[in-house]
């Protein structure tokens, strides 16, 4: 274990780099609170999405790295901002008109349109927790409503009243002049209507712990205690105040928050806590290079990814280059699956240093499983294509001929992948397949390959079959890549594909001969 810790202290893997930064906070003395606190925040105005997964998954990776290099205990808190007022009625809920009268009320005071929980906020919190539990994340959940109402925020709220002018000065610098006139860091919750009020303060009394303002509806002057859930903070001050109240050591967020970081940090320091370490990740892009957003619905949802691939492949995608903007669309899924399994296979023979740089160590927290994938996912897709597979049992017929000892029971990830491949092929590959006729040179080469395969009487060996494919092409094509492109476009209706020798071994020699004959006869173009 000591060797692993040593390797972690020099590892270039980004979770270890972040973990070492956090450790440096406590190089002089351990934390007085007895642990290092990681936090992720969540706005429960809608259902959890892929960004939520990414944030918790990446924070967990850093936490695991920290645990490897330090014996200081850790906690991960998932904080739900469920005291926020509902700004608009979501379009994807039943009977949305019934929610109109509850605008600006805290989400935990809005009736649940699904009629399953005591409020809309409770419903979305339950969805979040179920979501996090599905992926096995270890975390503690905190509701802002409970946090404010129970008095856990009281000390920081009173301190914010004492430091009101100082915090306001930080905020006002970031606001337009018009907004400056009415802005306050405190948002009273109306004692009668229950609405979150955006009103200017007439008085902030730190000694009494109260705020005074005019009721926007009646015009009457009102005074409320700051404590006990009567008042909440605006979201930017809330961010920094939460860090101070919980004594947060680390939080990551998307690039869209990065301009606010100096504000969060300043408020946190004013309220008496050293600003936490940050990690800003790049946002995901859709297939057209546009930013993915919940409201526009572009990109891939969690459920969609898990329809076509495993959760581990999604974690692998999240691990890769978090500070680089990446396209996140359906066509990245096969590559993520295959690379994940490549890394699993590589892990077996790696030393400690290489293992800590391997994404699978971070995905599985050091408890790395063995890959039972006998065939790459991309190969399964090609197999599904040529066999017109409607279910995974059809693929298993080919798989078991290629690997007689394999079964769905002994190779569960292979079985799962076969089901995913059929689904992915029918939804994405099949509609886009475009076959073409061979050129004269390609026709000659395909005939030669067919004849070589007809004469072949060896085992279903990837390398032996690849040698045949290679030798046919080497004599006729320069560059050789043109030969493989022709095989994919003419036989598979795709622009790229697997190692063709491996494909023949899996699909079968006789079957490949028949496929070539179909292509030469122009039958695939009609398909």
Residue 197 makes CB contacts below 8 A (sequence gap 6+) with 104, 187, 188, 189, 190, 213, 216
- Listing DSSP states for 333-362 in one string gives HHHHHHHHHHHHHHHTT--HHHHHTSHHHH
Does position 258 have pLDDT exceeding 90, yes or no?
no
CATH superfamily of 2-150: HUPs (3.40.50.620)
| Rounded distance between C-alpha atoms, residue 112 and residue 149, angstroms | 20
Does position 27 have pLDDT exceeding 60, yes or no?
yes
Q: What is the pLDDT of residue 172?
A: 94
Residue 28 makes CB contacts below 8 A (sequence gap 6+) with none
Of residues 459 and 237, the one with the higher pLDDT is: 237
| Mean pLDDT calculated for residue range 299-323 | 89
Structure tokens at 127: 């969805």
Q: Which residues pair with 359 in a beta bridge?
A: none
Does position 461 have pLDDT exceeding 90, yes or no?
no
Structure tokens at 421: 């491949």
Q: What is the pLDDT of residue 302?
A: 81
* Contact indicator for 377, 338 with CB cutoff of 8 Å: yes
| Mean pLDDT calculated for residue range 282-304 | 68
Does position 438 have pLDDT exceeding 60, yes or no?
yes
| Rounded distance between C-alpha atoms, residue 101 and residue 113, angstroms | 13
Does position 397 have pLDDT exceeding 60, yes or no?
yes
1.10.260, 1.10.357, 2.70.70, 1.10.10: which CATH number matches 440-526? 1.10.10
Residue 142 makes CB contacts below 8 A (sequence gap 6+) with 77, 78, 79, 80
Does position 404 have pLDDT exceeding 70, yes or no?
yes
Does position 377 have pLDDT exceeding 70, yes or no?
yes
Sign of the CA dihedral with 435 first, then 438, 443, and 449 last: negative
pLDDT in tens, 153-201: 999 999 999 999 999 999 999 999 889 889 999 999 999 999 999 999 9
* Contact indicator for 33, 73 with CB cutoff of 8 Å: no
Does position 290 have pLDDT exceeding 80, yes or no?
no
Poorest-pLDDT segment among 115-129, 177-191, 215-229, 291-305 = 291-305
Structure tokens at 354: 């290489």
Confidence category of residue 282, pLDDT binned at 50, 70, 90: confident
Confidence category of residue 288, pLDDT binned at 50, 70, 90: low
Average per-residue pLDDT for the chain: 91
Pairing outcome for strands 36-42 and 210-214 = unpaired
Q: Cα–Cα–Cα angle for 445, 446, 450, nearest 5°?
A: 120
> In this prediction, what percent of the chain has a pLDDT beyond 90?
70
Q: Tell me if residue 442 falls in helix, strand or coil.
A: helix
Does position 502 have pLDDT exceeding 70, yes or no?
yes
Q: What is the pLDDT of residue 296?
A: 52
Q: What is the pLDDT of residue 57?
A: 94
* Contact indicator for 425, 395 with CB cutoff of 8 Å: no
Residue 388 makes CB contacts below 8 A (sequence gap 6+) with none
Q: What is the pLDDT of residue 255?
A: 84
State how far Cα 206 lies from the chain centre. 43
Domains of the chain, residue spans: 2-150, 178-233, 302-362, 377-432, 440-526
Q: Do domains 178-233 and 440-526 have the same CATH topology?
A: no
Confidence category of residue 77, pLDDT binned at 50, 70, 90: very high
Q: Cα–Cα–Cα angle for 140, 369, 72, nearest 5°?
A: 40
- Listing DSSP states for 238-281 in one string gives HHHHHHHHHT--EEEEEGGGGGGHHHHHHHHHHTTSPPPEEEEE
| Rounded distance between C-alpha atoms, residue 364 and residue 375, angstroms | 22
* Contact indicator for 270, 170 with CB cutoff of 8 Å: yes
Poorest-pLDDT segment among 320-324, 429-433, 468-472, 479-483 = 429-433
Q: Tell me if residue 374 falls in helix, strand or coil.
A: coil
Other Cβ atoms closer than 10 A to 440: 7
| Mean pLDDT calculated for residue range 308-321 | 94
Does position 36 have pLDDT exceeding 70, yes or no?
yes
pLDDT in tens, 411-428: 898 999 999 999 999 998
pLDDT in tens, 45-62: 766 778 888 899 999 999
* Contact indicator for 92, 35 with CB cutoff of 8 Å: no
| Rounded distance between C-alpha atoms, residue 147 and residue 429, angstroms | 49
Q: What is the pLDDT of residue 166?
A: 97
Q: Encode 181-241 in three state secondary structure.
A: CCCCCEEEECCCCCCECCCCCCEEECCCCEEEEECCCCCCEEEEECCCCCEEECHHHHHHH
Angle between helices 377-387 and 412-424 (to 10 degrees): 50
* Contact indicator for 487, 448 with CB cutoff of 8 Å: no
Does position 295 have pLDDT exceeding 70, yes or no?
no
Does position 299 have pLDDT exceeding 70, yes or no?
no
Q: What is the pLDDT of residue 292?
A: 62
Which amino acids are annotated as binding site for ATP, given as ranges? 294
Q: What is the pLDDT of residue 67?
A: 96
Q: What is the pLDDT of residue 385?
A: 87
Q: Which of 259, 298, 241, 247 is nearest to 51 (CA)?
A: 298
* Contact indicator for 250, 87 with CB cutoff of 8 Å: no
Report domain 178-233's class.
mainly beta
Other Cβ atoms closer than 10 A to 497: 20
Confidence category of residue 100, pLDDT binned at 50, 70, 90: very high
Which amino acids are annotated as binding site, given as ranges? 294
Number of Cα atoms under 13 Å in the Cβ half of residue 294: 14
Does position 264 have pLDDT exceeding 90, yes or no?
yes
| Rounded distance between C-alpha atoms, residue 517 and residue 447, angstroms | 8
* Contact indicator for 374, 406 with CB cutoff of 8 Å: yes
For 41, phi and psi rounded to 5 degrees? -110, 155
Q: What is the pLDDT of residue 527?
A: 53
Residue 416 makes CB contacts below 8 A (sequence gap 6+) with 310
Poorest-pLDDT segment among 298-312, 340-354, 410-424 = 298-312
| Mean pLDDT calculated for residue range 298-326 | 88
């Amino acid at each position: 274990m000591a060797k692993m810790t040593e390797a972690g202290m020099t590892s270039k893997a980004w979770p270890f780099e972040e973990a070492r930064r956090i450790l440096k906070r406590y190089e002089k003395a351990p934390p007085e609170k007895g642990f290092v606190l990681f936090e992720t925040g969540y706005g429960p105005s809608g259902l959890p999405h892929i960004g939520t997964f990414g944030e918790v998954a990446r924070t967990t990776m850093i936490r695991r790295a920290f645990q490897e290099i330090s014996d200081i205990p850790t906690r991960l808190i998932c904080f739900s901002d469920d005291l926020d007022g509902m700004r608009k009625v979501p379009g994807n809920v039943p009977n949305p008109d019934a929610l109109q009268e509850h605008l600006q009320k805290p989400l935990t005071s809005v009736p649940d349109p699904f009629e399953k929980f005591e409020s809309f906020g409770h419903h979305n919190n339950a969805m979040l927790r179920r979501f996090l539990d599905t992926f096995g994340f270890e975390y503690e959940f905190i509701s802002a409503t409970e946090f404010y109402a129970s008095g856990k925020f009281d000390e920081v709220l009173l301190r914010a009243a004492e430091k009101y002018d100082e915090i306001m000065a930080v905020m006002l610098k970031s606001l337009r002049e018009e907004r400056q006139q009415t802005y306050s860091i405190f948002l009273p919750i109306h004692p009668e209507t229950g609405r979150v009020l955006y009103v200017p303060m007439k008085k902030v009394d730190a000694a009494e712990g109260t705020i005074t303002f005019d009721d926007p509806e009646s015009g009457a002057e009102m005074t409320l205690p700051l404590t006990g859930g009567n008042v909440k903070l605006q979201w930017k001050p809330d961010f920094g105040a939460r860090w101070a109240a919980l004594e947060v050591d680390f939080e990551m967020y998307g690039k869209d928050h990065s301009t606010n970081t100096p504000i969060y940090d300043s408020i946190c320091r004013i309220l008496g806590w050293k600003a936490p370490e940050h990690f800003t990740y790049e946002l995901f892009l859709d297939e057209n290079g546009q930013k993915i957003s919940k409201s526009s619905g572009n990109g891939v949802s969690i459920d969609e990814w898990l329809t076509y691939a495993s959760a581990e492949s999604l974690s692998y995608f999240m691990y890769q280059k978090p500070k680089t903007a990446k396209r996140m669309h359906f066509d990245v899924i096969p590559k993520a699956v295959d690379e994940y399994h490549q890394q699993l296979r590589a892990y077996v023979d790696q030393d400690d240093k290489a293992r800590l740089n391997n994404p699978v160590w971070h995905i599985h927290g050091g408890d790395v499983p063995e890959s039972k994938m006998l065939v790459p996912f991309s190969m399964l897709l090609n197999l599904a294509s040529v066999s017109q597979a409607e279910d995974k049992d059809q693929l298993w017929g080919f798989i078991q001929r290629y690997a007689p000892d394999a079964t769905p029971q002994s190779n569960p990830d292979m079985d799962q992948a076969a089901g995913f491949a059929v689904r992915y092929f029918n939804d994405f590959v099949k509609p886009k397949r475009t076959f073409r006729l061979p050129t004269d040179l390609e026709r000659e080469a395909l005939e030669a390959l067919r004849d070589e395969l007809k004469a072949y009487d060896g085992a279903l060996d990837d390398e032996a079959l690849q040698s045949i494919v290679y030798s046919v092409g080497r004599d006729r094509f320069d560059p050789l890549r043109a030969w493989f492109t022709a095989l994919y476009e003419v036989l598979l209706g795709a622009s790229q594909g697997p190692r063709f020798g491996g494909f023949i071994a899996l699909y079968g020699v006789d079957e490949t001969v028949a496929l070539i004959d179909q292509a030469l006869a122009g039958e695939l173009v009609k398909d």
